[in-house]
Amino acid sequence: MKHFVGVAGLACSIAAWASSAGAQDCEPGWFSETGQAPCSMCPIGTVQPLAGQTACDLCPAGTVQPGHGQTECVPCEAGTSQPFAGRPACSPCAAGSMQPNTGRESCELCPAGTVQSLAGQTSCEPCPAGSAQSSMGESTCDACDAGTAQPSTGQASCLPCAAGTYAGGTGAEACTPCAAGTFADGTGALACTQCPPGSFAGVAGMVACEPCGMGHFSGSPGSAACAACPPGSYADSLGTTWCPACSAGTYSEGGAQSCTSCGDEGYSGSGAGSCTPAPPPQKASDDCMAEIVRNGLIVTVSDDSETPPSDGISCTVDTCVDGEPVHTPDRTLCDDDDPCTLEACGVDGCVYTRIEGCGEEDAGVEMDGGVRRDGGVDNEAVACSATGARGAFWPALLALFWVRRRPRRRPGVARRR
């Protein structure tokens, strides 16, 4: 009968077994030089499946045996390996590697696009979107650089942003289209560029800006649209940054490519959006002399041409009737509707001045065309409204001058606007 004891009592056990059983073959897991008693247990890392053996066998690579006197080796578990024979234990796979099978001599490196940060693992993890790993056997993924992106998982590299898109930071899963008013003309852009003045990008994702069309302009960078030239200006070429003003005698409506001449139908100043109609021509009498109001003063003017005499104030329409100058007030622009307020055109627009005594009874004063004709008042011209109200002097607007009265001449009246 065999007796199992510790290593210290191995010799005693072997002797006892030999004396009690006589010469017998060593059992499996045991060995001796003769294959017979006395026998010894196979050490760790070795096995002996047969009886009567003179030696133990080393466990092959990929297997181990941690115990004494064993008859078979144990294969390495998944996630471990053993490259050497005769070893008592397997080694876990290092980070960056894995082993999905048992009994393997070595671990497998994680392929590109995957990583494994832990030891003893049976698989590798794919790199998430926005990152990649170009090398094998790595434990971490690399974030995509600025100007690149990766929308998929498990990729070995990131993709450069296409023209018209950009990625300003690292780890982008997708590139961002350039906003309207900007562009990117190459791949791998970190940022988009503003459209220069005179051009625009009307939609997102543009690879180039378009020049402003004729009749339009863009005066600042980064325009998503060009503005139409305002009335009174034009743009006759592409890519304009500003619209020059129309010259005097011409005009334009909004978005014009050129200015239109007023011709004989009217007139305009520089930068006009429309022409002012010219008054119809009128034939004057051969001898049209009058005392007329010019620039606010009563003066004597001789005009023998066919052009009606002008009082120099645009508030009146000046004509000749029966050889006499007639100055008709034009109320289309000045419309105060107060019969006792003098309306006149000034440099800043309409001027309304209260007429002293207007509306009061003034017996013995003859009203003639809105001008008081009174020889007893030294022929001073005093304006009143055309409604028939009596008038006094023009305070602060008309300087009173002595004038010589001419035969068949009547003083004119400054029109009101």
Q: What is the CATH number of the domain that holds 70?
A: 2.10.50
Which amino acid is residue 219, in one-letter code?
G
So what's the pLDDT on residue 145?
97
What digits encode the pLDDT tens for the residues 127-180? 999 999 999 999 999 999 999 999 999 999 999 999 999 999 999 999 999 999
Q: For the chain, what percent of residues have pLDDT higher than 90? A: 59
What digits encode the pLDDT tens for the residues 60-103? 999 999 999 999 999 999 999 999 999 999 999 999 999 999 99
Give the pLDDT mean for 45-72.
Answer: 96
What digits encode the pLDDT tens for the residues 387-415? 333 333 333 333 333 333 333 333 444 33
β-bridge mates for residue 154, sequence order: none
Asked whether residue 294 is domain-assigned, the answer is yes
Q: Nearest 5°: CA angle at 246, between 196 and 265? A: 150
So what's the pLDDT on residue 318?
59
Query: Is the pTM above the cut of 0.75?
Result: no
Domain containing 293 equals: 280-417
Say whether pLDDT at 286 is over 70: no
Q: 75, 97, 120: which is the final residue of a domain?
A: 75
Asked whether residue 104 is domain-assigned, the answer is no
Q: 38, 55, 75: which is the final residue of a domain?
A: 75
So what's the pLDDT on residue 395?
37
Asked whether residue 136 is domain-assigned, the answer is no
Q: Is pLDDT larger for residue 317 or for residue 224?
A: 224
So what's the pLDDT on residue 18?
47
Q: 44, 75, 106: which is the final residue of a domain?
A: 75
Cis link prior to 38 (omega < 30° from 0)? yes
Q: How confident is the model at residue 23 (pLDDT cuts 50, 70, 90)?
A: confident
What does the block give as tokens for 235?
């743009």
Asked whether residue 361 is domain-assigned, the answer is yes
What does the block give as tokens for 164?
């018209």
Asked whether residue 400 is domain-assigned, the answer is yes
Question: Counting runs of H as helices and runs of E as strands, what totals does the chain give?
Answer: 1, 36
Asked whether residue 55 is domain-assigned, the answer is yes
Q: How confident is the model at residue 263 (pLDDT cuts 50, 70, 90)?
A: confident
Average model confidence (pLDDT) across the chain: 76
Asked whether residue 374 is domain-assigned, the answer is yes
> How many Å apart are CA 376 and CA 392, to the nearest integer?
14
Backbone phi, psi, residue 27, to 5°: -75, 165
Provide the domain count of the chain.
Answer: 2
